[in-house]
Amino acid sequence: MIKTLLPFSKTPLSTVRICRRKPITLCHQCFRKLATDGRVFEEGDIALLREKHDASHDGHLSKPLHSKKTIETHRGPISHTEIIGKRVRDIIKTKKGHEYRIHEPTLSEYVRYTPRSVTPIYPQDANVIVSLLDIHVSPQSDSTPRKPPLEILEAGTGHGALTLHLSRAIHAANPPLPSPPPYLDSEDGMEDSVYQGESVADPQHSELEAWKKRRQAIIHTLDISPNNTNRARNVVKGFRRGMYAGNVEFHIGDVSAWIAAQTKMRNTSEPFLSHVLLDLPGAQAHLANVAPALHTNGALAVFNPSITQIVECVEMIRDRKLPYLLDRVVELGGSTAGREWDVRAVRPRVALRKENGLGSVPESPDHDSDGSASVDQSGHAIGGYAAGDKEMAKDMNQRKSDWAMICRPKVGYMVVGGGFLGVWRRMKDSALGSD
């Protein structure tokens, strides 16, 4: 048993008993100080300032800390030199005497407070998307046989918010960087004002290139706009001194063209992508080109603001018999985040009777007495919607069509706004028409 005094503050502290078999009892102030990692803010870090006596205050996100810069608040300016050398949760004052507490921004806060030229995928939605991809990685040791790296394609980089969440999800698979990315103090025209003056050393550096060859997980993110790519690159590099930036490769161009170029460069027709996420208009135009590059059972996720765009993908896959099996359609955003939608192509049973020359169909819970219930592509009856199916059958007779799309939330929910995510799984080519 050892007795010691913890010298963390000027206030009187009681003796703390330290024993392997007994917990350490700390006062609230000591616990708060031990809860921080003890690291102080340095030049190049980003800090979040919140008013000490206003818990609802959103906060001010700083530029990368620099001795010659200041943060402008409505309570007065704060010099970066007041933050440099301080610890997380320390208190600083403006020239007017108003107190702010220093925080290290979480990934969620960083995404919400960074300026943007395009709407980001917000953290609550990004977390759902990453969860549905079901990514599992583990550190690789020198004794472990090397496998092909896990590669994920994100088409539609945008703000870079989802890129950061994906990179965090795979981060454990890659070895530590040989050294933190060196930031250069220059004013050579970074377009995003928050990160102006920040740049990373030449990526062709031999040590960094050697590290890249040992990566076991990579995020390929692609955007048609060079401006979006440049801003997103700075957003990714700006979070905690670029700790996740090494996992990401940024590309500019068209999705289908990029896949064709990668296939040619790799000199193989074998699939190389573990998952693909399309967050761009007209995603259905790229589905056929994505399929050869996607591993069997790999996830294809399509994010769109409108459910009708997901429907267009469903119809494209059915009409062209593409090797995808719809896993789920999920609504994102607001209080209904995570709610599943029923989206599928169906045929009214009355159309099947006419096609097969059959008479009436016996009543069942899945269809009315006139046999007007629907069946999906697997031939299974879709129950509980007989009245709606009658209307659909009349509409299809007028349009001379055999198929119609069901597009509705699961029973018991109200329809409200929000984005939509469709998730498909890549089937084996031999399973086409049987899955």
CATH of the domain at 94: 3.10.330.20
Measure Cα distances from 342 to 36, 103, 298, 420 in Å.
Answer: 46, 43, 21, 12
pTM for the whole structure: 0.72
- Hey, what are 164's tokens? 């950061």
Look up the domain containing 9 and give its range. Answer: 1-35
Residue whose structure tokens are 């550096």: 205
Q: What is the mean pLDDT of residues 382-393?
A: 45
Q: Are strands 48-51 and 60-61 parallel, antiparallel or unpaired?
A: antiparallel
Clarify whether residues 187 and 320 are in a common domain: yes
CA angle 11, 17, 21 (to 5 degrees): 145
Residue 418 placed within a domain: no
Clarify whether residues 178 and 266 are in a common domain: yes
Residue 424 placed within a domain: no
Residue 429 placed within a domain: no
What SS3 state is found at 346? strand
Residue 430 placed within a domain: no
Clarify whether residues 190 and 264 are in a common domain: yes
Q: What is the mean pLDDT of residues 167-195?
A: 64
Q: For residue 164, what is the domain's CATH number?
A: 3.40.50.150
Residue 2 placed within a domain: yes
Residue 209 placed within a domain: yes
Clarify whether residues 101 and 118 are in a common domain: no
Residue 420 placed within a domain: no
Clarify whether residues 217 and 123 are in a common domain: yes
pLDDT band at 356 (very low <50, low <70, confident <90, very high): low
Residue 66 neighbours by CB under 8 Å, 6+ apart: 43, 80, 185, 197
Domain count, the chain: 4
Does 416 have pLDDT greater than 70?
no
Q: Are strands 404-409 and 70-71 parallel, antiparallel or unpaired?
A: unpaired
Amino acid at 95: K
Does 363 have pLDDT greater than 50?
no
Clarify whether residues 176 and 27 are in a common domain: no
Lowest mean pLDDT among 139-148, 158-167, 277-286, 344-353: 344-353
Last residue of a domain, one of 51, 72, 105: 105
Clarify whether residues 67 and 137 are in a common domain: no
Residue 185 placed within a domain: yes
- Hey, what are 328's tokens? 């789920």
Q: What is the mean pLDDT of residues 109-125?
A: 87
Clarify whether residues 213 and 260 are in a common domain: yes
Last residue of a domain, one of 328, 362, 379: 328
Clarify whether residues 50 and 195 are in a common domain: no
Clarify whether residues 266 and 230 are in a common domain: yes
Clarify whether residues 121 and 7 are in a common domain: no
